[in-house]
Amino acid sequence: MKKATIQLEALACPSCMQKIESAVKSLEGVDKESVKVLFNSSKVKLDFDNEKLSIETIENAISILGYEVKKTQVKDL
């Protein structure tokens, strides 16, 4: 398992949070409980299983929604 912190461009609408949260949670291999979308600091924090999916897949799921991924940090749990 790895812990990722994804910095996005500034989020403006609270419904963006719901969208991003649902999109990330629907990915296989992401720990649903751990997903946290921080509205004001525009960050997504989550734990995921790096054997089931790559960090790029997660980034892609977010950027398809139209939110630019600025920086990603992945750490071992």
Partner 1 sequence: MQKLQRFVLTKKNPIALISAILIIVAFTGKLAFKNVEIFTWSLIIASILGIAPIAIQAYQALRVKVVSIDVLVTIAVTGAFLISNYEEAAIVTFLFLFGAYLEQRTLNKTRSAIKELTEIAPQSALKQMENGEFEEVEVDEVDVGDILLVKTGAMIPVDGTVLTGEGHINEASITGESVPVSKKKDAQVYAGTILENGTIQIVADRVGEDTTFGKIIELVEEAQDSKSEAERFIDRFSKYYTPAVLVFAFFVWLFSRDIELAITILVLGCPGALVIGVPVSNVAGIGNGARHGVLLKGSEVIHDFSKVDAVIFDKTGTLTIGNPKVADTEFYTNDTEGVLAYLASVESESDHPLAKAVVEYIGDTEFYTVENTDVVKGGGIVAQVDGHRVVVGNVALMEQENIPLNEKVREDIARFEQKGNSLVLTAIDGELKVIMGIRDQIRPGVKEDLQKLKRLGVKNLIVLSGDNQGTVDLVANELGLTEAHGHMLPEDKAAYIADLQAKGQIVAFVGDGVNDSPSLALANIGIAMGSGTDVAIETSDVVLMNSDFSRLTHALGLTKATARNMRQNIVIAVGVVIILLSGLFFSDWVNMSIGMLAHEASILVVILNGMRLLGYKLR
- Out of 28, 33, 51, 66, which residue is the one contacting partner 1 (CB under 8 A)? 66
Closest by CA position to 23, among listed 68, 72, 60: 60
**Position 1 contacts partner 1 (CB under 8 A):** no
- Out of 1, 26, 52, 70, which residue is the one contacting partner 1 (CB under 8 A)? 26
Closest by CA position to 40, among listed 22, 60, 16, 23: 16
Q: What is the gyration radius of the CA atoms in the chain, in angstroms?
A: 11
Interacting residues with partner 1 (CB under 8 A): 10, 12-15, 18-19, 22-23, 26, 38-41, 43, 63-66, 68, 73
